């Protein structure tokens, strides 16, 4: 990509984490849309080469001719923004987006107080900031997340039989995501529902390896290792294909910052069963586009999954309603426009 002229850069969005995470995914999906609205670039490691991007060294040496926005989404990025402004004397307005739904540490609260403006990804996240924030819900890129053109061929390619009912759960394999709750529900339901399948995708970190091994041992002991599978960390393109191939999405997290996965599933025409955490209550319409269950309630999770597993017509109707709901309320263009309005307010 050719070098981007300094006078075309209004916003710098740092990404100071090399491995794929929810925050990195947000940067990657938003910036191409925002770039049609304002001069925005990313900076940091591990980003796709096609993304508008400048090296960190250049972000630290942009001319002081005018104000720009430094849009942080992590503590490290807020701290770097302060260094750029107060030590290197760069003219950055500081903006932080928070998804966390918990009381912040003292250091994080101090960093937040230094920002010029705040965005929260849900009303719940805003309530923990102790300062006014603009609430902007995440959106989904409908040009990426959509039903497959030939779903039967895709399912065959991925190894599913025509009458399989496939549940998906995508994200890191750890207790926070409620993976163990979903496995327990599947162990209860699958013996009497031979069509049911469950796939997990996501990285297993070293500290979660024993947690995952114990779950796999339980699955093996139940004779269900062929129907409950851990696919590991897969390329982003494959995650999208998995969404397009499944019949039901499960998000039984114990806690969640925002929780974009049910929206991505909905955009692909798939209903969700999710815990009442994060923004899930805002994203899922009870009985219309999926079900909501109390957090850590494996009995309620089992009943909700059974309801959708046992109702082919209802599941398909809910998937269609979910797709329509996302198209109307959660397209990524709306999120990008709302964030860009915040940028323009800071630059004014």
Evaluate if residue 18 carries a pLDDT over 90.
no
Structure confidence at residue 43 (pLDDT):
95
Stated as kind and residue range, the H or E segment containing 195 is none
- Same domain for 159 and 262, yes or no, is yes
Helix (H, G, I), strand (E, B) or coil at 257: coil
Count of domains forming the chain = 2
Structure confidence at residue 24 (pLDDT):
82
Give the global pTM.
0.82
The more confident residue out of 26 and 269 is 269
- Residue 1 covered by a domain: no
Structure confidence at residue 347 (pLDDT):
97
- Same domain for 122 and 204, yes or no, is no
Q: What DSSP letter does each residue of 5-55 carry, written as one string?
A: PGGG--EEEE---SS--HHHHHHHHHHHHHTTTS-EEEESSS--TTS-B--
- Same domain for 125 and 248, yes or no, is no
Up-side HSE of residue 161: CA atoms within 13 Å toward CB?
9
- Residue 81 covered by a domain: yes
Cα separation, 269 vs 142, whole angstroms: 11
- Residue 77 covered by a domain: yes
Lowest mean pLDDT among 77-81, 117-121, 328-332: 328-332
Cα–Cα distances in angstroms (integers) from residue 242 to residues 100, 163, 182, 340, in the given order = 27, 16, 18, 31
- Residue 53 covered by a domain: yes
Evaluate if residue 92 carries a pLDDT over 70.
yes
- Same domain for 109 and 221, yes or no, is no
Q: How confident is the model at residue 46 (pLDDT cuts 50, 70, 90)?
A: confident
| pLDDT, averaged across the chain | 94
- Residue 116 covered by a domain: yes
Evaluate if residue 37 carries a pLDDT over 90.
yes
Q: Range of 70's domain? A: 6-139+331-347
- Residue 144 covered by a domain: no
- Same domain for 283 and 191, yes or no, is yes
- Same domain for 272 and 283, yes or no, is yes
Structure confidence at residue 41 (pLDDT):
97
Rounded to 10 degrees, what is the CA torsion of 240, 241, 247, 250? -40
CA angle 263, 171, 254 (to 5 degrees): 85
- Same domain for 155 and 72, yes or no, is no
Residue 124: CATH number of its domain: 3.40.50.2000
Structure confidence at residue 339 (pLDDT):
97
- Same domain for 314 and 195, yes or no, is yes
Structure confidence at residue 258 (pLDDT):
77
Residue 43 β-bridge partners: 14
Order of strands across the sheet that contains 117-120? 40-43, 11-14, 68-72, 92-98, 117-120, 134-135
Evaluate if residue 22 carries a pLDDT over 80.
no
Q: How confident is the model at residue 1 (pLDDT cuts 50, 70, 90)?
A: low
Structure confidence at residue 240 (pLDDT):
94
- Residue 97 covered by a domain: yes
- Same domain for 173 and 119, yes or no, is no
Extended strands (E) in 226-336: 228-230, 248-251, 272-275, 290-293
pLDDT tens digits along 144-197: 999 999 999 999 999 999 999 999 999 999 999 999 999 999 999 999 999 999
Evaluate if residue 20 carries a pLDDT over 70.
no
Report, as an integer, the average pLDDT of 121-143.
Answer: 91
- Same domain for 295 and 181, yes or no, is yes
- Same domain for 66 and 192, yes or no, is no
Report, as an integer, the average pLDDT of 253-278.
Answer: 92
Cα separation, 113 vs 24, whole angstroms: 24
- Same domain for 249 and 123, yes or no, is no
| % pLDDT > 70, the chain | 99
Q: How confident is the model at residue 19 (pLDDT cuts 50, 70, 90)?
A: low
CB within 8 Å of 127: residues ≥ 6 apart: none
Contact indicator for 8, 39 with CB cutoff of 8 Å:
yes
- Residue 145 covered by a domain: no
Distance in angstroms between the alpha carbons of the first and the last residue of the chain: 30
């Amino acid at each position: 990509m050719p070098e981007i002229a300094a006078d075309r850069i209004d916003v710098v969005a740092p990404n100071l984490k090399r491995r794929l995470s929810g925050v990195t995914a947000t940067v990657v999906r938003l910036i191409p849309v925002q770039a049609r609205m304002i001069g925005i670039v990313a900076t940091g490691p591990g980003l796709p080469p096609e993304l508008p991007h400048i090296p960190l060294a250049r972000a630290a040496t942009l001319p002081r001719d005018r104000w720009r926005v430094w849009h942080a989404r992590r503590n490290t990025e807020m701290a770097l923004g302060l260094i750029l402004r107060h030590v290197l004397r760069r003219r950055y307005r500081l903006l932080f987006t928070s998804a966390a739904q918990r009381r912040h540490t003292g250091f994080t609260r101090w960093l937040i107080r230094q920002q010029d403006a705040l965005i929260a990804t849900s009303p719940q996240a805003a309530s923990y900031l102790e300062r006014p924030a603009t609430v902007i819900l995440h959106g989904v890129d409908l040009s990426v997340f959509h039903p497959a053109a030939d779903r039967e061929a895709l399912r065959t390619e991925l190894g599913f039989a025509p009458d399989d009912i496939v549940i998906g759960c995508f994200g890191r394999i750890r207790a926070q995501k409620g993976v163990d709750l979903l496995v327990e529900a599947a162990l209860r339901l699958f013996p009497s529902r031979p069509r049911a399948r469950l796939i997990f995708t996501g990285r297993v970190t070293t500290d979660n390896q024993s947690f995952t091994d114990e779950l796999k041992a339980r699955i093996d002991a139940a004779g269900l290792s062929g129907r409950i599978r851990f696919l590991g960390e897969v390329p982003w393109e494959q995650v999208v294909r998995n969404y397009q191939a499944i019949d039901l999405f499960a998000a039984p997290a114990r806690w969640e910052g925002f929780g974009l996965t049910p929206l991505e599933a909905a955009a692909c025409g798939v209903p969700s069963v999710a815990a009442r955490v994060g923004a899930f209550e805002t994203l899922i319409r009870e009985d219309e586009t999926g079900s909501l269950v109390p957090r850590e309630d494996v009995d309620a999770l089992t009943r909700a999954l059974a309801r959708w597993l046992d109702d082919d017509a209802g599941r398909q109707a809910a998937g269609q309603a979910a797709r329509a709901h996302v198209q109307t309320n959660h397209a990524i263009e709306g999120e990008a426009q709302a964030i860009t309005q915040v940028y323009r307010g800071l630059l004014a």
